[in-house]
Amino acid sequence: MTLACDTAMVMAAGFGKRMRPLTISQPKPLVRVAGKPLIDHTLDKLASAGIERAVVNVHYLPDALEAHVRDRQSPRVVISDERDELLETGGGLIKAQKAGLLSDPCFCVNSDNVWLDGPYDAFRELSESWSADKMDALLLLVPHTGARNFRGKGDFQMDPQGRISRRRSGRIAPFIFTGIQLVSHRLLRDPPEGAFSTNVLWDRAIEDGRLYGMMFTGEWFEVGTPEAIGPTELALQG
């Protein structure tokens, strides 16, 4: 199974406020879970999948994060510097694209993700389902039964063709976004200025019928607070 691209954007610039007090003196991607920093869980998965280059954006305590990834060879890390302004997820993608750092399409992954793959790794699953003709982005979604530590109402509904829409008000949506997606440059066209969320681009793609999802066959862990670390470590040991 061939990968759709060899580049991934790793979102690592946020303040990690929900992870305090662990993030008072270190960026959230360096918080350790099961013996290694969160960002290494993500980078190791990228390396295992054969992704050659990771574009890592930095803002909060950037020197520590840069020092940590500087000598990594697999994947090779390129820094997208947001020291001057935190651009959020959408703005971060646009800055990296304008700098010529992103392939088309490219993977985009949150740096605080922890997951166990199913029969295939997540990036090969996305690649197999990718269709540039009909998709602006393909989101990896997990049902509630495969989401550990998650207590929310879910994010998306998905039709039989894989097109996704937002959770309806007052309802529970069956699928949760894992923080892993495959995005085209078409999704990034005509963006707002400055900082903004990828949700802005997703909403436009939903209106165009071009935002798709696929169900993850593995298990995903939300590690957003210190309280989630212990249960995640126990599950990973099983």
* pLDDT per position as a tens digit, 121-139: 999 999 999 999 999 999 9
- How far apart, in Å, do the first and last CA atoms of the chain sit? 29
**Band (78; pLDDT cuts 50, 70, 90):** very high
Average pLDDT over residues 97-120: 94
What is the chain's mean pLDDT, rounded?
Answer: 95
pLDDT of residue 112: 86
Instruction: Calculate the alpha carbon distances from 129 to 102, 116, 135, 222 in Å.
Output: 20, 19, 10, 24
Model confidence pLDDT, tens digit, residues 92-103: 999 999 999 999
Going by the DSSP 8-state scheme, the letter that residue 167 receives in this structure is P
CA distance 170 to 233: 33
pLDDT of residue 1: 64
Model confidence pLDDT, tens digit, residues 186-205: 999 999 999 999 999 999 99
* pLDDT above 90: percentage of residues in the chain: 90
Q: Can you give the pTM of this predicted structure?
A: 0.95
What sign has the CA pseudo-torsion 148, 222, 40, 185? positive
In this structure, CATH architecture of domain 7-237: Alpha-Beta Complex (3.90)
Token pair belonging to 140: 């990896």
